């Protein structure tokens, strides 16, 4: 196999895995071969135009151990957890069995390494990841060191909570997940990325593959709050006929976040909803990248993103919809609105439509500005203090994105988090 030059930005990153023997695993080995020829992304790449990852790759990371680390259990009490729902807890990427439970024995919810033993999942594993072109996909496929497989049987309705906790500085975590919703199944996932107080400079490179069989539904709610750490979260979704995928991304209070939501609408009559609320401050950088590929007719998709940027932070929204030639009668909509609270903050918005069919209804819109002065004046005229009025407007602005969440407790939690963040 080709060796890396020492001045290559990948060399230090890959040195961590120099003792890993992946030659006996053809999938991992092939991904590593691809990785040798894939340059690390730079701002010259359209896919990463506004997001620099060089500093992330140059840091000195450590791999997690094999034992469950001790952690402050009070951080779990702050989350809107439901004791009647199945739960998987990972501490520094290590499965914490004592804090996890399966409510319904009919579903498969097991750590990734154990699950791949079962033949029924091997035919779905690594079918959506793009290891030939995407750097972080290839890194994850070659070196994933945690994660889970979730299999939901036909016609069942399940709710699952996934919790990823970081307790140590400078860790490199690479979770790999596979989610399979069988015909007519419905699965609701609440995923929490959190860290113990004071932890910094960790990097999580997560990749999830989601396969939705005909007439199945997946609700996937992501809570990303990692303070001075970094998260690259790539989710590949394959939608078969009559399936529905609904997700909400709550991204804030994290030094660096890059969300890649990549949807293949490969069956007729699919529904896809991708919403998100982003709040950046200080020097944080949060990038929301969405690509919905309509390949078959009679489908619907909607993207709704709201962003607040303060201090010297940067926020990015790149939402793209492609409509293939044979994908007639598509309804696809995008709405992206952004508010700058500081003269030093930056927001880059790039909504895109690429349409090759003629019988479609597609629209996109993006706006960036400051708080509505008329609305602010209206509230001030009714005796509301300026700071309180600003907070009310920001809260209402971001809360527009959470109306479609099918979990009242989680919705209230996100709304409360937004209130606290805009103090």
Which backbone phi and psi does 268 adopt, to 5 degrees?
Answer: -70, 155
Give residue 2's pLDDT: 42
Give residue 7's pLDDT: 44
The answer to whether the beta carbons of residues 322 and 360 sit under 8 Å apart is: no
Q: What is the mean pLDDT of residues 202-206?
A: 97
Q: Is the dihedral of CA 323, 125, 231, 60 positive or negative?
A: negative
Same-domain check for residues 235 and 93: yes
- Is 419 a domain residue? yes
Give residue 17's pLDDT: 75
Instruction: Measure the CA angle with vertex 161, ends 156 and 162; round to 5°.
Output: 125
- Is 306 a domain residue? no
Query: How would you classify the pairing of strands 94-95 and 86-91?
Result: antiparallel
The answer to whether the beta carbons of residues 378 and 371 sit under 8 Å apart is: no
- Is 326 a domain residue? no
Those residues whose C-beta lies under 8 Å from the C-beta of residue 27, and which sit 6 or more positions away, are: 125, 126, 141
Percent of the chain beyond pLDDT 70?
93
Those residues whose C-beta lies under 8 Å from the C-beta of residue 95, and which sit 6 or more positions away, are: 68, 88, 89, 111, 146, 148
Q: Domain residues for 420? A: 374-423
Q: How confident is the model at residue 4 (pLDDT cuts 50, 70, 90)?
A: very low
- 24/189: higher pLDDT: 189
- Is 2 a domain residue? no
Q: What is the pLDDT of residues 269-290, one digit of tens each?
A: 999 999 999 999 999 999 999 9
Those residues whose C-beta lies under 8 Å from the C-beta of residue 113, and which sit 6 or more positions away, are: none
- 409/422: higher pLDDT: 409
Question: Residue written as tokens 């303070």?
Answer: 227
Domain boundary among 210, 240, 267: 267
Q: In the chain, how many domains are there?
A: 2
The burial of 55, by beta-carbon neighbours within 10 Å (0-12 exposed, 13-18 middle, 19 or more buried), is given as exposed
Mean pLDDT lowest among 69-73, 123-127, 300-304, 383-387 = 383-387
Give residue 118's pLDDT: 62
Same-domain check for residues 102 and 220: yes
Mean of all residue pLDDT scores within the chain: 91
Asked whether the predicted pLDDT for residue 9 surpasses 80, the reply is no
The structure tokens listed for 146 are: 């945690």
Q: How confident is the model at residue 413 (pLDDT cuts 50, 70, 90)?
A: very high
Q: What is the mean pLDDT of residues 332-357?
A: 95
The answer to whether the beta carbons of residues 162 and 193 sit under 8 Å apart is: no
Domain boundary among 206, 234, 267: 267
Same-domain check for residues 65 and 210: yes
Helix ranges restricted to H, 97-242: 112-115, 119-122, 135-143
Give residue 20's pLDDT: 67
- Is 72 a domain residue? yes
The structure tokens listed for 318 are: 């790149």
Same-domain check for residues 85 and 224: yes
- Is 366 a domain residue? no
- Is 343 a domain residue? no
Domain boundary among 231, 246, 267: 267
Q: What is the pLDDT of residues 86-96, one digit of tens each?
A: 999 999 999 99
Q: What is the pLDDT of residues 381-402, one digit of tens each?
A: 777 777 777 778 888 889 999 9
Same-domain check for residues 259 and 390: no
Q: What is the mean pLDDT of residues 398-407?
A: 92
For the entire predicted model, the pTM comes to 0.94
- CA 374 to centroid of chain Cα atoms: 35
The structure tokens listed for 71 are: 């952690």
Same-domain check for residues 255 and 400: no
Asked whether the predicted pLDDT for residue 99 surpasses 90, the reply is yes
Q: How confident is the model at residue 350 (pLDDT cuts 50, 70, 90)?
A: very high
Q: What is the mean pLDDT of residues 339-351?
A: 94
Of 207, 265, 263, the C-alpha closest to 241 is 265
Distance CA 391, CA 341 (A): 12
Give residue 19's pLDDT: 63
- Is 302 a domain residue? no
């Amino acid at each position: 196999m080709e060796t890396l030059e020492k001045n290559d930005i990948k060399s230090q990153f890959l040195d961590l895995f120099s003792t890993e023997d992946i030659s006996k695993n053809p999938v991992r080995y092939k991904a590593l071969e691809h990785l040798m020829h894939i340059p690390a992304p730079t701002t010259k790449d359209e896919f990463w135009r506004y997001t620099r990852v060089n500093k992330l790759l140059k840091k000195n990371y450590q791999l997690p151990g094999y034992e469950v680390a001790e952690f402050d259990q009070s951080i779990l009490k702050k989350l809107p957890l439901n004791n009647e729902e199945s739960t998987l807890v990972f501490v520094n990427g290590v499965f914490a069995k004592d804090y996890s439970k399966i409510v319904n024995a009919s579903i498969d919810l097991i750590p990734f390494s154990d699950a791949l033993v079962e033949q029924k999942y091997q035919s779905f594993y690594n079918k959506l990841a793009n290891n030939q072109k995407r750097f972080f996909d290839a890194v994850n496929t070659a070196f994933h060191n945690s994660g889970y497989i979730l299999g939901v049987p036909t016609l069942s309705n399940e709710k699952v909570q996934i919790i990823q906790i970081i307790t140590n500085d400078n860790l490199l975590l690479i979770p790999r997940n596979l989610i399979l919703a069988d015909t007519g199944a419905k699965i609701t996932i609440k995923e929490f990325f959190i860290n113990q107080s004071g932890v910094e400079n960790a990097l999580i490179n997560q990749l999830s593959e989601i396969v939705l069989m005909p007439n199945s539904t997946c609700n996937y709610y992501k809570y990303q709050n990692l303070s001075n750490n970094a998260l690259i979260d790539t989710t590949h979704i394959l939608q078969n006929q009559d399936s529905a995928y609904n997700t909400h991304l709550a991204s804030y209070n994290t030094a660096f976040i890059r969300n890649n939501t990549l949807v293949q609408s490969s069956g007729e009559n699919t529904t896809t909803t991708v919403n998100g609320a982003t709040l950046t401050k200080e020097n944080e950088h949060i990038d929301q990248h969405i690509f919905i590929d309509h390949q078959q007719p009679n489908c619907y998709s909607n993207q709704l993103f709201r962003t607040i940027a303060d201090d010297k932070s940067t926020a990015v929204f790149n939402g793209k919809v492609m409509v293939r030639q044979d994908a007639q009668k598509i309804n696809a909509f995008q709405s992206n609105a952004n508010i700058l609270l500081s003269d030093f903050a930056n927001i880059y918005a790039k909504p895109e439509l690429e349409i090759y069919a003629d019988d479609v209804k597609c629209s996109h819109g993006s706006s960036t500005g400051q708080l509505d002065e008329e609305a602010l004046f209206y509230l001030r005229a009714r005796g509301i203090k300026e700071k309180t009025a600003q907070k009310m407007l920001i809260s209402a602005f971001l809360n527009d994105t959470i109306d479609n969440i099918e979990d009242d407790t989680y919705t209230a939690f996100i709304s409360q988090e937004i209130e606290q963040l805009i103090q």
